[in-house]
Amino acid sequence: MTNLLTEAFKKAQNLPESLQDELAEQLMNDIEDELNWQYQLAQPQSSLLDELAEKALLDSLAGRTHVTGFDER
């Protein structure tokens, strides 16, 4: 455990139990979310996205695209 996390836990020990439980729940949710992100990012990416990116690049190189604003067609 890092020094900063140890310090945070020491400070949390001085809080009322209800706040300690609330902090613990928030921390566990954050940890679960982080683990889910790490898992998702470790998975192989869809080849469809690669194919679409390649097509867009080829279309651009062939002059079949034009610059527009965000809300323009």
Domain count within the chain: 1
- Rounded to whole angstroms, how far apart are CA atoms 51 and 18? 52
Flag whether 70 is in a domain: no
Residues 6+ apart with CB under 8 A from 65: 56, 59
Residue 73 has pLDDT above 80, yes or no: no
pLDDT in tens, 32-43: 999 999 998 888
pLDDT value, residue 45: 76
Question: 46-55: per-residue pLDDT in tens?
Answer: 788 889 999 9
Residue 40 lies in a domain: yes
User: Which has the higher per-residue pLDDT, 23 or 47?
Assistant: 23
Tell me which DSSP letter residue 14 carries: T
pLDDT at 16: 98
Q: Indicate whether 15 belongs to any domain.
A: yes
Owning domain of residue 44: 3-61
